[in-house]
């Protein structure tokens, strides 16, 4: 299921967008200002951001610039600003689309579908001898296909999407199981199985915090 972060300070517009996206089966997280957008992005994995520009606390353009320092996640700008300069700045930071208000929610959803379709066509995570084919939910280690359980794959997928970055136990459990109060031994067992099935996998335990796939500390 694709997960979309909706950053829009007009709560009525945000609600309409979220309802249309949920009807299409997307998982949606809504925030209403720039700082909250960055906090949400840093703590969760999103497949696409829908980003307004005129936001409280931090402008959408500043949010865009900050995110682009570490991520190439697809971003669609949604704003009342239609001047050439703002659009050029946005596209120079590799946005996927620029939509001006007012807009049709139906057309907006179609634009999002197209972006995700184009993105998913090349969604493979490569890390040394590890290949994670996100479209097909397939994993290859040292060129050999590895059979994983559903939960083992989901754990690896979350770590692979944030390779070379720490992912906390709480983030993993909330993303995969929907809540962070799960007995952490359940998660630890899945990690143990991943290491057993792929000896040498650069999956490091960060004591007291979580796990990291790849990176200098692996």
The three-class DSSP label of residue 89 is helix
Residue 74 belongs to domain with CATH number: 3.40.50.2300
Highest mean pLDDT, choosing among 28-32, 133-137, 156-160, 170-174: 28-32
**Final residue in a domain of this structure, among 100, 121, 142:** 121
Q: In the chain, how many domains are there?
A: 2
The answer to the question of residue 218 being in a domain is: no
What mean pLDDT is predicted for residues 70-86?
93
Average pLDDT over residues 3-11: 96
**How far is C-alpha 164 from the chain's CA centre?**
15
**Domain limits at 70?**
3-121
Name the percent of the chain in helix, strand, coil, to the closest 5.
Answer: 40, 20, 35
Which pLDDT score is estimated for 117? 82
Residues 65 and 110 in one domain: yes
- Let me know how many helices (H) and strands (E) the chain has, helices first: 8, 12
Residue at a domain's end among 66, 94, 121: 121
Whether 185 and 88 share a structural domain: no
Task: Grade residue 184 by pLDDT with cuts at 50, 70 and 90.
Answer: confident
Tell me the range of 84-88, 122-126, 132-136, 214-218 where mean pLDDT is highest. 84-88
Same domain, 15 and 89: yes
Are 202 and 111 found together in one domain? no
The Cα–Cα gap between 77 and 162 comes to 23
pLDDT tens column, 115-153: 988 776 556 788 999 999 887 788 999 999 999 999 999
112 and 131 share one domain:
no
Tell me the CATH number at 201.
Answer: 1.10.10.10
**pLDDT tens track for 101-117:** 999 999 999 999 999 88
Q: Give the C-alpha separation, 214 to 68, whole Å.
A: 20
The answer as to whether 13 is a domain residue is yes
Helix 60-68 with 84-92: angle, nearest 10 deg: 20
Q: Is residue 196 part of a domain?
A: yes
Is 170 a member of any domain? yes
Say if residue 73 is exposed, middle or buried (CB neighbours under 10 Å; 0-12, 13-18, 19+): middle
């Amino acid at each position: 299921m694709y997960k979309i972060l909706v950053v829009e300070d007009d709560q009525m517009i945000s609600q309409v967008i979220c309802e249309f996206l949920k009807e299409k089966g997307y998982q949606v997280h809504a925030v209403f200002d720039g700082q909250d957008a960055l906090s949400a992005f840093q703590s969760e994995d999103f497949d696409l951001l829908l980003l307004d520009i005129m936001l409280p606390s931090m402008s959408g353009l500043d949010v865009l610039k900050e995110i682009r320092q570490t991520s190439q996640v697809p971003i669609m700008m949604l704003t009342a600003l239609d001047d050439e300069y703002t659009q050029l700045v946005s596209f120079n930071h590799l946005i996927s689309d620029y939509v001006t208000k007012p807009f049709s929610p139906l057309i907006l959803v179609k634009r999002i579908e197209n972006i995700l379709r184009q993105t998913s066509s090349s969604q493979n995570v490569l890390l040394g001898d590890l290949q994670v084919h996100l479209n097909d939910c397939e994993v290859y280690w040292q060129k050999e296909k590895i059979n994983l359980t559903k939960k083992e794959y989901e754990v690896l997928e979350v770590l692979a999407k944030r390779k070379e970055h720490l992912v906390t136990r709480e983030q993993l459990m909330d993303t995969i199981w929907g809540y962070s109060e799960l007995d952490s031994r359940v998660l630890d067992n899945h990690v143990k199985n991943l290491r057993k099935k792929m000896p040498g996998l650069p999956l490091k335990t960060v004591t007291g915090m979580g796990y990291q796939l790849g990176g200098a500390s692996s």
